[in-house]
């Protein structure tokens, strides 16, 4: 059964990488932004430096050049880490 999705491990690596980055931004970071109506500049910068925001940009233009599935996995993990952190403050 493990051979059904040959990309499962690749997606697991994507998920873990995004989780690791998101874990450096705790709930107090998100709560402070929520209270001040601020923008998550440090978070966006970290995503950019790690290459996660350039997922759909072709490699010849400086991006990662991954597919829509991988980009969806990245966004899914970001949402899954940020939303609970924000909600913990309410």
Domain boundaries, the chain: 42-90
CB 27 within 8 A of CB 87: no
CB burial of residue 74 (10 Å; 0-12, 13-18, 19+): buried
Whole-number Å distance between alpha carbons of 25 and 14: 18
pLDDT at 58 over 60: yes
pTM of this prediction exceeds 0.85: no
Give the lowest-confidence range in 8-12, 20-24, 32-36, 45-49: 8-12
User: What is the reported pLDDT for 52?
Assistant: 93
Which residue's structure tokens are 């931004």? Answer: 25
């Amino acid at each position: 059964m493990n051979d059904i999705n040959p990309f499962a491990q690749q997606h697991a690596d994507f998920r873990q990488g995004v989780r690791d980055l998101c874990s450096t931004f705790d709930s107090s970071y998100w709560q402070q932004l929520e209270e001040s109506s601020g923008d998550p500049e440090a978070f966006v910068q970290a995503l950019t430096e790690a290459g996660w925001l350039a997922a759909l940009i072709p490699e010849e233009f400086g991006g990662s050049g991954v597919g829509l599935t991988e980009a969806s996995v990245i966004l899914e993990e970001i949402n899954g880490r940020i939303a609970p952190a924000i909600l913990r403050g309410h």
